[in-house]
Structure 1
Amino acid sequence: MTTATLPAASPTQAADAQTLIRQIEQYLATQTPRTAHRLVTKTTDQLIAEALRQPDQTPASAPTLAVPGKLLRILPDWTLTFARQLHAGTTRHITVAQHLELTALVIQQHGWARGRMRNTSGGRCILGAQYVLRQLGYGDDRTAAEAGRHLTNILAARGIQQPIHQWNDGHGRTQTEVLHLIREAANNAREIQ
């Protein structure tokens, strides 16, 4: 999937945790579902859910969290853990390419920050966007570290030896450049997978 098919942010759309989770789930739904075996038509997650459900239990819908965007911008990042618990409560496996695509989505939705992980208007630097995904339960530390290696490799191929956070914070850096780097790393990760 190319990054052009990610949902675009509307200027009037509230940037809240539930909206971000919904957009991440929409993106992941377009990915090829993984199944336990090629002859099985249900995904592994569906099979596990069915196995754990009691015979008389019907699937319950996940509770929703509606935090207004302005409030989310001033709340500390640890509150994202509560959104994760309300959404699913577990870590969802995603590929490195998906992690990078979703990192770009977070920056598109919340804006971009330079000099800090998150600014007061909700913008995120590259590492801050990765942190949001981790706190919401999308991927794990290994996935984020591997994504960081892909970003570093792209910078090295350009002759840049700075760590990602220093490059992100560079004087004159733009959100467009940041998104371009992330998407290039996502394409690179997709080719390797």
Structure 2
Amino acid sequence: MAIPVLTPDQLDAQASLLHDTQAWQSIVSGWELTAPEPGPPPAPASAPAPGRQPSDWRSLLSVPVDRLIDDALRTLPAAPPPERPLPGRLGAVLPDRVHAWRRVGQGDLRPSVHLGYARQILAEWGWQNTPYRLRNARGARCVCGALLTAHRLGYGSPTTVNRAGAWLITELRSQGWPGLIGPWNRAPGRTAADALALVDAAARRAAAAGH
């Protein structure tokens, strides 16, 4: 199976273009919309007689049950990816094309799950911020490099990689960063903990939107 040869900066640019489309903005803004503000609260129900239960516990709630469930789900962390160990340290330094066989028979993934694998790569193989390099001599990846490597290891299609990158940019915008992922990754003072936190936040955001 042919694997598209993308650089981290090309992925960064593609993800930015997707993020700026009207369709993507509809996705991002749509999941954040909550139910209409409730009207005046209903009059308190009369207390039941001693020893009797209320006829319907829902009457005691000030907001709809569906909204309570949605709010609770949005606070949950993204589900971890299914157990599928990464290659060891030797695998980290080998060219990604060596791992192409791992894509055989693999289905597509949601962007949130793909981001989970990218995080695993950053955590196990390391993070690096050398300008314009997917990885360093030790096999550590930049953030975009981790997305590309996850795809080349069999975790998600090129479309999924692009969407995962767009979710990263969406998260960066929410944090006030106006640029692309690469410059954020290379910013002075950036740390591996920052990179992992960004991927975690983007994965949670994508999962909350059902992606």
Task: Say whether the fold is shared (TM-score over 0.5).
Answer: yes
Distance in structure 2 (CA, Å) of the matches to 1:191 and 1:175? 24
Matched, 1:94 2:72: no
Matched letter for residue 183 of structure 1? D
Distance in structure 2 (CA, Å) of the matches to 1:143 and 1:67? 21
> Cα–Cα, structure 1 residues 136 and 27, in superposed 2: closer, same or farther, change >3 Å?
closer
Matched, 1:168 2:190: no
1:111 corresponding residue in structure 2: 126
Which of 68, 75, 80 aligns to 2:94? It is 75
> Cα–Cα, structure 1 residues 99 and 68, in superposed 2: closer, same or farther, change >3 Å?
closer
Q: Over residues 121-173 of structure 1, what are the superposed CA-to-partner deviations in whole Å (9 max), with x where a residue is unaligned?
A: 11111111111111122111111111111111111122211111111111110
User: Structure 1: where are the runs of 5+ without partners?
Assistant: 7-23, 29-65
User: Structure 2: where are the runs of 5+ without partners?
Assistant: 1-75
Deviation at 1:176, TM superposition (A): 0.4
Matched, 1:130 2:187: no
2:83 corresponding residue in structure 1: 26
Is the 2:118–2:147 contact (alpha carbons within 8 Å) kept by the matching residues of 1?
Answer: yes
> Cα–Cα, structure 1 residues 105 and 74, in superposed 2: closer, same or farther, change >3 Å?
closer
Distance in structure 2 (CA, Å) of the matches to 1:169 and 1:95? 27
Question: 4+ residue runs of structure 1 moved beyond 3 angstroms?
Answer: none
Matched, 1:183 2:203: no
Superposition RMSD on alpha carbons, in Å? 2.5
What secondary structure sits across from 1:26 in the alignment?
A: coil
Distance in structure 2 (CA, Å) of the matches to 1:169 and 1:180? 15
Greater RCO (CA < 8 Å, at least 6 residues apart) = 2
Q: How many residues align?
A: 133
Using structure 2 for the length normalisation, give the TM-score. Answer: 0.57
Using structure 1 for the length normalisation, give the TM-score. Answer: 0.61
Is the 1:74–1:120 contact (alpha carbons within 8 Å) kept by the matching residues of 2?
Answer: yes
Matched letter for residue 81 of structure 1? A
> Cα–Cα, structure 1 residues 67 and 176, in superposed 2: closer, same or farther, change >3 Å?
closer
